[in-house]
Amino acid sequence: MAGVQRAAWTTSPRTVSGQNSGYAAITRVQSPPALDGLQLRQAIQVIERAAVLDLLGYDDPNAGLYDLHMNAAKARAHGFRLICEGRLEALLDRVHAGNVGDWISLIRDSMGR
């Protein structure tokens, strides 16, 4: 996605001859740094996996977008928003901490404590 610029459509109301109408304005949207250098399919996978991790957690490593039982577009929007807001690192830290905690519990249990 490096070097690719996207156009985003925004619709704004305006008055023309006393009537309300809308017009489309094109604005440039910068790619989030976490997605730079990725091909489109890779970026979509990161977005989807971020959504699944944030909404379902890490308990099922095979969990996918459709396990969320919600509209796929809304799930992708959630993942993309998470990345754009710079929350991906915190999500990964949370998952890592939970995973390490699980391993520590398993080790303690196996030692009979």
Question: What's residue 108's pLDDT?
Answer: 74
pLDDT digits (tens, 9 = 90+) for 34-59: 898 899 999 999 999 999 999 988 87
More confident residue, 78 or 6: 78
Tell me the domain boundaries of the chain: 32-110
Query: pTM for the whole thing?
Result: 0.64
Q: Which is nearest to 50 in space by CA: 31, 77, 30?
A: 77
Rounded distance between C-alpha atoms, residue 49 and residue 65, angstroms: 7
pLDDT digits (tens, 9 = 90+) for 58-81: 878 788 888 999 999 999 999 999
Residues 45 and 36: beta-carbon distance below 8 Å: no
Does residue 15 surpass a pLDDT of 50? no
Rounded distance between C-alpha atoms, residue 113 and residue 64, angstroms: 35
